[in-house]
A and B are shown apart, each in its own frame.
Chain A
Amino acid sequence: DQQVKQNSPSLSVQEGRISILNCDYTNSMFDYFLWYKKYPAEGPTFLISISSIKDKNEDGRFTVFLNKSAKHLSLHIVPSQPGDSAVYFCAASEGNTPLVFGKGTRLSVIA
């Protein structure tokens, strides 16, 4: 059973607009959430994270929101740029256990 779900396999957004990537989880014990970005033929790279004691974390154009009651988090990219086109993975951890990853969402930013 998937503990971390990214229900949208793909998303297309126009350059300059907001991209919103969503992630749901089932394990209420998860206490850290991370987003990774992956370009073709490269390994995933860390983008942004949030602790379960917060509901928002911002880093430049990237903001992650956490709604613990709904077991939902989202990644907002504003404004979206063509270089943001990649696969985005949501991941979660409980204590020091290994990260659990979602299946990813492919974002295409159209110029």
Chain B
Amino acid sequence: NAGVTQTPKFQVLKTGQSMTLQCAQDMNHNSMYWYRQDPGMGLRLIYYSASEGTTDKGEVPNGYNVSRLNKREFSLRLESAAPSQTSVYFCASSEQRTGFYEQYFGPGTRLTVT
């Protein structure tokens, strides 16, 4: 049981390049999330998927797209990377149930855009 896995762990891009961050979970969770963490800014939600087949914008969606490929996988795409997207990206998943739900996080992808 690996929990939430993310690939790659590190990536360096040039301005204007594109890439896709991959995330997979093996806990049979319905909901998945993408966050970015910047120094002094905490964790900010980019996009989330409450269930397979649905996606919604979070606090900072501009410059990103997502795909919920199936129940296990949720990818984040940067179509034209910008230096402002230099950050650590975390994927998370949760089991949607009434009331409390704990989110489980992956180890993160450290992205640098030059």
Partners in one complex: yes
Number of interface residues of B (CB under 8 A): 26
- In angstroms, Cα B37 to Cα A42, docked, is 12
The answer to whether B58 and A98 have CB atoms under 8 Å apart is yes
On whether A9 and B45 interact (CB within 8 A), knowing A43-B107, A44-B105, the answer reads no
Most buried by B among A36, A46, A93, A103: A103
Question: What separation, in Å, do the CA atoms of A82 and B16 have in the docked complex?
Answer: 43
Task: Select which of B40, B58, B104 is within 8 A of A9 by beta carbon.
Answer: B40
Q: Give the residues in chain A near B41, CB-CB below 8 Å.
A: 103
The reply on B96 being an interface residue by CB < 8 A is yes
Is the pair A103, B99 in contact by a Cβ cutoff of 8 Å? Answer: no
A51 at interface (Cβ–Cβ under 8 A)?
A: yes
For B15-42 the 0/1 string (1 means CB < 8 A from A) is 0000000000000000001010000111
Complex Cα spacing A43 to B43, Å: 11
Interface of A is mostly: loop
B42, B48, B102 — most chain A CB neighbours (10 Å): B42
CB contacts (< 8 Å) of B105 on chain A: these are 36, 43-45
Contact across chains for A46 and B108 when beta carbons are under 8 A apart: no
User: In the complex, which range does the number of interface residues on chain A fall in?
Assistant: 20 to 34
Contact between B40 and A103 (Cβ–Cβ < 8 Å)? yes
A-B contact pairs, 26 of them (CB 8 A): A9-B40, A31-B99, A32-B101, A34-B102, A36-B105, A42-B107, A43-B90, A43-B92, A43-B105, A43-B106, A43-B108, A44-B43, A44-B90, A44-B105, A46-B103, A49-B102, A51-B99, A89-B43, A96-B98, A98-B33, A98-B48, A98-B58, A99-B103, A100-B45, A101-B42, A103-B41
- Do A32 and B4 contact each other (CB < 8 Å), given the known contacts A42-B107, A42-B108? no
B42 with A96: CB separation less than 8 A? no
Question: In the assembled complex, how far is the CB of residue B80 from the closest CB belonging to chain A, in whole angstroms?
Answer: 26
